[in-house]
Structures are given as C-alpha cells and as structure tokens.
Amino acid sequence: MLGSRIGAAFGDLHRRNGVEVRTGIAVSQVTVREGHATGVQLADGAHVPGDLVLFGIGAVPNIELARDAGLATDRGVLVDAALQTSHPDIVAVGDIAEAEHPAFERRVRVEHWANAQNQPAIAARTLLGKEAVYDRQPYFFTDQFDLGMEYRGLASDPENVVVRGDLAGEYLAFWLDDGDRVEAAMNVNIWDAGDDLTALVASSTPVDRSRLADPEIPLAEVGAQR
Ligand SMILES: Cc1cc2nc3c(=O)[nH]c(=O)nc-3n(C[C@H](O)[C@H](O)[C@H](O)COP(=O)(O)OP(=O)(O)OC[C@H]3O[C@@H](n4cnc5c(N)ncnc54)[C@H](O)[C@@H]3O)c2cc1C
C-alpha cells in the first residue's frame, strides 16, 4: 500500500528503534518445547528465539452469514454507494462492506475505524428511504515510536510517489495517478496540513511534481503549470 520507498522509511524507523526487520524470508515452523514456543525456524536455516510469537498475516472478513442469507458477496458484502446490499432492506458497513464510491471506478473495502465510525449514519439514511451517498475519502492514522501519521485517499500505484520533506523526520508523501492527479496523501509528524491534503486528494486538477516536492510552495499552489 505504501510502496517500496515509503515502506523502506518505515523499516528504517523500526531499525532505528532497535527492531530487527527481516523481509523476504519464509517461516518454516514455530519451534515448541513442553507446549511453549521457543522461537521460529526460518526457511534459510536461521532460528529466531522467542517465547512469544505473534502472526500478522492479514485479515479475512466474516461474510458467511451474509452469503448464506443470499446477499451478493465477493471479497466483502457488496453494497452500492448508499451502502445498500443486494437486498433492499439490508445495509452493510465497516470492514465487511465492499462499496461503490463516487471517487473510485471499482468497489472499495476499507479496513479502518473511520469507515466503521462514519458509514452507519449513511446506512441509517438509506434504511429511512432518504438520499444518501458515502463519499468520504478513506482515512487512517497510526503512531509508531515517535512517528505519527495520517493517510487520506487510496493509491492505485504505490510506487508513483512524490515526497516533500525528510523521510527520516517530518514529511508529506503524495501518490499520483498516471495523469499526475493526487490520489492519496500522507502527513508524517506534520499536523497542520490536513485540510490541504484533503483538498488535494478531492481535486481532479493535475499537479506539478517538482512544485509538489518543494516545501517552499504552498500546497494550494501546486497545480500543474501548463
Ligand atoms: C490489530 C489491528 C490493528 C488495527 N489498527 C488500526 C489502526 O491503527 N487504525 C485504523 O483506522 N484501524 C485499525 N484497525 C482496523 C479497525 O479495527 C477496523 O477497521 C474496525 O474495527 C472495523 O469495525 P467493524 O465494526 O466494521 O468490524 P469489527 O470491529 O471487526 O466488528 C465486527 C463484529 O462482528 C462480529 N461478528 C462476525 N461474524 C458474526 C456473526 N456471524 N454473528 C454475529 N457477530 C458476528 C465479530 O465478532 C465482531 O465483534 C486495526 C485492526 C486490527 C485487527
């Protein structure tokens, strides 16, 4: 999602804070003695000792109930932009909802709390027969060590990124589409840019990549000079 350049910056953050990060190596087994974990055996032959093993291997939504009830499903429960499922009396919100969205050509399923917090009000309008469209940008935040970040939007190409600032400190990252429009933006340890980033992601105006990267240019003035 963040791409190799920003992913490497997060890897470095963890290394600076004493975490040993190994990538591209499969775990072949968890080693156990007398019913307790002693570590993990890696496919390259190395053994990493430890008495606590935590797997972070992604999540799968529990959509069996919806599917068995006859609702249309794919990677989640399919809903339109009003969050209505294939049954007119049933709505779906949060992690399980794979929703049409005015800003995206494909349905999106977003696993972040902001979605779970904001979608129910739209779903309630739909159930009341009122006009309703869920059109908020996807959003999440995370705090890791001394880094705090917020991410808005949804990048289709994680590698097409422009950075403004210092990847080891404070920076903004922008993911562009192939027409140089900002699809997603992230602020790292910078807390006064939120409104500008929201506006950039919402805008369909192309930006100038070098102006976007230049901290001297106000974000409201990064439109393409064409
Ligand atoms: C480890 C972890 C870290 C996260 N960190 C962040 C973060 O930093 N920032 C962020 O924005 N988001 C984060 N998230 C995601 C966030 O927690 C979710 O997006 C949010 O909780 C989704 O809310 P929800 O109500 O859609 O689903 P859930 O909170 O998953 O609630 C669904 C509920 O339905 C119940 N359920 C399932 N099937 C059935 C059934 N058949 N019958 C009855 N009940 C059922 C489940 O038990 C569960 O209680 C994190 C998630 C995890 C797991």
Tens of pLDDT, residues 21-68 = 999 999 999 999 999 999 999 999 999 999 999 999 888 999 999 999
Q: Which residues, other chains included, contact 59 with Cβ-Cβ below 8 Å and sequence gap of 6+?
A: 95, 111
Residue range 167-185: mean pLDDT, rounded: 97
Q: Is the pLDDT of residue 91 over 90?
A: yes
List every span in the chain annotated with CATH 3.50.50.60. Answer: 3-49, 64-127
What is the rounded distance in angstroms from the CA atom of residue 117 to the CA atom of residue 196?
A: 23
What is the rounded distance in angstroms from the CA atom of residue 70 to the CA atom of residue 67?
A: 5
DSSP designation for 136: P
Q: Is the pLDDT of residue 1 over 90?
A: no
Query: 144 pairs with which residues across the strands?
Result: 147
- Percent of the chain at pLDDT exceeding 90: 95
Q: Is the CB of 112 under 6 A from ligand 1?
A: yes
Residue range 76-93: mean pLDDT, rounded: 98
- What number does the ligand 1 atom closest to the CA of 110 have? 19
Q: Class assignment of domain 139-221?
A: alpha beta
- What number does the ligand 1 atom closest to the CA of 59 have? 53
Q: The whole model's pTM is what?
A: 0.89
**What is the CA(94)–ligand 1 centre distance, in A?**
8
Superfamily name and number for 3-49: FAD/NAD(P)-binding domain (3.50.50.60)
The one-letter code for the residue type at 192 is D
**Confidence (pLDDT) at 59:** 87
The band of 186, judged by pLDDT with boundaries at 50, 70 and 90, is very high
Q: Is the CB of 111 under 6 A from ligand 1?
A: yes
Cβ(184)–Cβ(201) below 8 Å: yes
Widest pairwise Cα distance in the chain: 69
Probe target for ligand 1 pocket from 113, 117, 143, with the most ligand atoms within 8 Å of CB: 113
Cβ(66)–Cβ(88) below 8 Å: no
Q: Is the pLDDT of residue 226 over 80?
A: no
Mean residue pLDDT of the chain comes to 95
Q: Is the CB of 95 under 6 A from ligand 1?
A: yes
Q: Is the CB of 68 under 6 A from ligand 1?
A: no
Q: Is the pLDDT of residue 224 over 80?
A: no
Q: Is the CB of 120 under 6 A from ligand 1?
A: no
The fold of 64-127 is FAD/NAD(P)-binding domain (3.50.50)
